[in-house]
């Protein structure tokens, strides 16, 4: 039975350096999502209690399938134990070694973050073209995946908030403030000037990378450009209009990868 036909909800867990994002899928659609901080020192029982508080309408025992990806080894072990103790689900870990059809130039695909694997697979499956995926989170990553599922490489840069926090911390006369899409590219006061430099600067960096990658790798053209991650809606307003905003690409990628692994193993 395809997992889109199952009457059981499916849990996807994306374990990042800053946050853990949980999404409940039912028949291919996200029904609920939850976010809480990544805390490596929290114990299994603490995460179980937190899950019960954050996701009161679902218990871990109600899921038939669970898929997770992690870039935090300590939390990988914690959640493996959590799922084995408190769920009856078939649990799949998604990473660069998962047999989902992606091919890699890198010699050791296990070094690729699980979130990047999910983004790459999700983009490839959804668009069936060569894609450039920019994920704007703690770090900003740009990935190149060709139309045949070749993961050709990536760019990793400091995330916009990460860079801004470093600037505020090291400049005595600058006060921290909420980031937002600037009204203009040149500011007439300190806050507007900072917004222009931080937000517009990040948008220009991304569009510049996209242009250079398309120029340097014409063999994979044409490209579809996708923006994802928590800061994508803010940055997307300043990027070319043909860039596609896919806020849930990572979660959808994990879900589609789970679908692929189940089709292989069952």
CA of 193: how far to CAs of 180, 234, 239, in Å?
Answer: 12, 17, 19
Name the residues annotated as catalytic. 115
Closest listed residue to residue 143, CA positions, set 156, 128, 158, 126: 156
Fold agreement (3-93, 103-249)? yes
Helix runs in 5-151, H state only: 44-54, 73-86, 114-127
- CB-based contacts of 115, cutoff 8 Å, min separation 6: 14, 16, 69, 71, 135, 250
CATH of 103-249, one of 3.30.420.40, 3.40.50.2300, 3.40.50.450, 1.10.443.10: 3.30.420.40
Residues 132 and 224: beta-carbon distance below 8 Å: yes
Q: Supply the pLDDT for residue 182.
A: 80
Helix runs in the chain, H state only: 44-54, 73-86, 114-127, 160-170, 190-195, 201-216, 232-236, 249-265
Q: Supply the pLDDT for residue 119.
A: 98
Task: Going residue by residue through the chain, which has 266 residues, state the pLDDT in tens, using 9 for 90 and above.
Answer: 455 556 689 999 999 988 999 999 998 899 999 998 998 889 999 999 988 888 888 889 999 999 999 999 999 999 999 999 999 999 999 999 999 999 999 989 999 999 999 999 999 999 999 999 999 988 999 999 999 999 999 999 998 887 777 676 656 445 555 778 888 888 778 778 888 888 899 999 999 999 999 999 999 999 999 999 988 999 999 999 999 999 999 999 999 999 999 998 87
CATH of 3-93, one of 3.40.228.10, 1.10.10.10, 1.20.210.10, 3.30.420.40: 3.30.420.40
Q: Supply the pLDDT for residue 1.
A: 45
What end-to-end distance do the CA atoms of the chain give, in Å?
9
Domain regions of the chain by residue span: 3-93, 103-249
């Amino acid at each position: 039975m395809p997992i889109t036909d199952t009457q059981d909800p499916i849990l996807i867990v994306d374990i990042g350096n800053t946050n853990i994002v949980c999404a409940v899928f039912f028949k291919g659609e996200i029904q609920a999502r939850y976010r809480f901080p990544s805390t490596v020192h929290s114990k299994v029982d603490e995460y179980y209690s937190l899950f019960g508080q954050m996701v009161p309408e679902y218990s871990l025992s109600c899921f038939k399938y669970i898929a997770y990806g992690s870039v935090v080894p300590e939390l990988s072990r914690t959640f493996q134990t959590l799922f084995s103790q408190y769920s009856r689900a078939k649990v799949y870990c998604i990473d660069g070694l998962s047999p989902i059809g992606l091919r890699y130039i890198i010699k050791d695909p296990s070094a690729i973050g699980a979130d990047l694997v999910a983004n790459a697979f999700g983009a490839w499956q959804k668009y069936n073209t060569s894609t450039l995926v920019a994920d704007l989170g703690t770090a900003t990553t740009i990935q190149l995946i060709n139309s045949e599922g070749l993961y050709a490489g990536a760019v990793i840069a400091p995330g916009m908030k990460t860079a801004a926090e470093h600037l505020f911390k090291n400049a005595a006369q600058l006060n921290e403030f909420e980031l937002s899409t600037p009204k203009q590219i040149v500011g007439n006061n300190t806050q507007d000037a900072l917004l222009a430099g931080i937000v517009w600067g990040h948008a220009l960096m991304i569009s510049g990378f996209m242009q250079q990658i398309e120029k340097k790798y014409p063999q994979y053209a044409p490209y579809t450009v996708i923006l994802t991650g928590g800061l994508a809606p803010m940055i997307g307003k300043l990027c070319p209009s043909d860039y596609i905003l896919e806020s849930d690409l990572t979660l959808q990628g994990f879900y589609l990868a789970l679908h692929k692994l189940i089709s292989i193993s069952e």
